[in-house]
Amino acid sequence: MSLDTQPVSLAPEVPAEIPARPFDNVWLELERRHGWRVEVAAYDNPRPAVSRMPFCFQDFDNRFAAEFRVRNRLDEVVAGAKSEWDAILKLRHWVFVQLVNGTDPAVPGLEPATLLAASRSGGTFFCTHFATVFVAAAAALGIPARKLAVDGEHLPTEASNMHGVADVWVNELRKWVCVDPNYDHHYELDGVPLNAEEVGRRWQTHRGEGIVARVGPENRAVPRARTGIAGKPEACALFWHLIECRNDVFRRDGRGGKPPVVLPLDDARKRQRWYQGKPPKTFEHKRYASGTFLFTEELADAYPDLDAAHFEILPPHKMPYYGRVQFYTPCAPYFSHYEVRVDDGTPERIEGMEYPWRLHPGRCRFEVRTVSVMGRQGPAYSMALEITEDAARQPGWPARA
């Protein structure tokens, strides 16, 4: 896969010529204390990307969100899903069939329950309404999601093709994925679902080559999912994208798109301006003048890692054989607790942010993940050691030689 489709990561790069042993100072001390040799056999503990932007997600115990979940039987919608991603595809398809596409919205405003009620009475809606209802349904199930607006690369003399979609955080993929409930589709490259930034960069570097549109809960590959810009690959329609910061969609004011919004910039976007409308009445995006764009060139600002359980191994205390594991979770909108598994043992619920890892000669494995209030498991962060007793070493416990 091309590097420009990899999830955002802030992990520091380690030069290939320097063999790194994570937490080397800890293992050196334990080797000295116990006459061990410690080898790191496996390590999956990426440093999470952290955003400086004021993202706001819906609180799970909001009474309107709870009513929305129960009234629309959302637990049944995702029942039988084989994975979190499969559940998201089922939820996207549910939104697709609940709303009728049209250019004349039946009701003003973006209150999710009102939109569904109007649709079931024969009303029609367009893209931003589909995105709003998807974000609401995801939030009601404890799945972090946010609204986006995307547009193609175009000149002031060309028409805008702005379109409302949604982002959803997928734990099993450890990344954001852009989904379009209006057309019940998303894009993939080499089998990996993409976010808007990844699609846009693939357009810039390869003119969208290799990107496949996939439709429906069956994840079927199709030649084209939406019209977009006539005569051009679909990827061109995601050159621009803005991300709404406020996604507490059950706030009951009937309004969406409240400022501010995040506008990711790269070299190509910095050289251009985003235009809206159709010739001869095109105009710069209104958020330039209103000052409600939050510009950033840092991908972590736009694409923070959620539900992370990154860990550090701290220097040992006075107790022998233990590694002190400390957890770090910068953003988990529906966090409940951590779940730790040591070796092949039973998962253990942890309420705090530190765990005493009991080490021993042989294979030692540690795994931690976040768990949400809905019981959804975050990505697994793990480490495995091979510890052998070194007969040539004299243990230095407890006194230092």
* pLDDT at res. 92: 98
328 & 370 share domain: yes
256 & 315 share domain: no
> Quick check: is 279 in a domain?
yes
169 & 134 share domain: yes
> Quick check: is 400 in a domain?
no
* pLDDT at res. 110: 86
Token pair recorded at residue 71: 């009234």
Determine the Cα–Cα distance for residues 262 and 243; give it in Å rounded to an integer.
5
User: Which residue, of 265, 284, 302, is where some domain finishes?
Assistant: 302
Determine the Cα–Cα distance for residues 140 and 69; give it in Å rounded to an integer.
5
Determine the Cα–Cα distance for residues 99 and 79; give it in Å rounded to an integer.
21
> Quick check: is 37 in a domain?
yes
209 & 110 share domain: yes
Q: What domain range includes position 335?
A: 3-49+307-389
User: Which residue, of 280, 302, 324, is where some domain finishes?
Assistant: 302
Encode 373-401: b = buried (16+ Cβ within 10 Å), e = exposed.
eeebbbbbbbbbbebeeeeeeeeeeeeee
157 & 102 share domain: yes
User: Which residue, of 281, 302, 323, is where some domain finishes?
Assistant: 302
107 & 227 share domain: yes
Interhelix angle 127-140/112-120, rounded to 10 degrees, is 120
86 & 32 share domain: no
Each residue's pLDDT expressed in tens, for the chain with a length of 401 residues? 333 444 444 444 444 444 589 999 999 999 999 999 999 999 999 999 999 999 999 998 899 999 999 999 999 999 999 999 999 999 999 999 999 988 777 787 789 999 999 999 999 999 999 999 999 999 999 999 999 999 999 999 999 999 999 999 999 999 999 999 999 999 999 999 999 999 999 999 999 999 999 999 999 999 989 876 777 788 889 999 999 999 999 986 766 667 899 999 999 999 999 999 999 999 999 999 999 999 999 999 999 999 999 999 999 888 889 999 999 999 999 999 999 999 999 999 999 999 999 999 999 999 999 999 999 999 999 999 999 998 888 888 765 54
* pLDDT at res. 254: 63
Helix ranges, 176-325 (H) = 196-206, 267-270, 286-290, 299-302
> Quick check: is 147 in a domain?
yes
DSSP-based three-state secondary structure for 48: coil
* pLDDT at res. 176: 98
Other Cβ atoms less than 10 A from the Cβ of 1: the count is: 10
CA dihedral 164, 154, 177, 338 (to 10 degrees): -90
Handedness of CA 97, 132, 4, 10 (dihedral sign): negative
Please give the tally of structural domains in the chain: 2
185 & 254 share domain: yes
* pLDDT at res. 399: 59
> Quick check: is 74 in a domain?
yes
pTM of the model: 0.91
